[in-house]
């Protein structure tokens, strides 16, 4: 019986180790992607918005950008921040009321 318990504990520890490795890998990939730059077309497809809406985001400072020889580029981290800043969860009620 103790052999089975030892085996279960060993497997459990291995699973924890694998989970930790996966999390480290996920975080390192996320950091790499945050400094990735996207062009207009990628942003339009990612956010499912029109060219005009993207232009408005640039014009009013909603989305930072870089312009090189007439072509616009955007950081993935800035897109994530825009989405996070405008996140709304209708199931969440402020002040603890429901």
Count other C-beta atoms under 10 Å from residue 85's C-beta. Answer: 8
The CA dihedral of 73, 74, 76, 81, to the nearest 10 degrees, is: 180
39-54 residue pLDDT tens:
999 999 999 999 999 9
pLDDT tens-digit map of 60-96 = 999 999 999 999 999 998 999 999 999 988 787 655 5
Predicted structure pTM score: 0.58
Mean pLDDT of the chain: 88
Query: What pLDDT, on the 0 to 100 scale, is given for residue 45?
Result: 95
């Amino acid at each position: 019986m103790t052999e089975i318990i030892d085996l279960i504990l060993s497997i459990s520890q291995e699973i924890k180790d694998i989970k930790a490795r996966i999390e480290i890998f996920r975080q390192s990939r996320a950091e790499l992607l945050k400094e990735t730059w996207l062009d207009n077309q990628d942003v339009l497809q990612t956010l499912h918005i029109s060219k005009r809406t993207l232009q408005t985001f640039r014009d009013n400072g909603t989305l930072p950008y870089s312009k090189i020889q007439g072509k616009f580029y955007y950081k993935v981290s800035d897109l994530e921040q825009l989405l996070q800043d405008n996140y709304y969860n209708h199931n969440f009620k402020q002040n603890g009321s429901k």
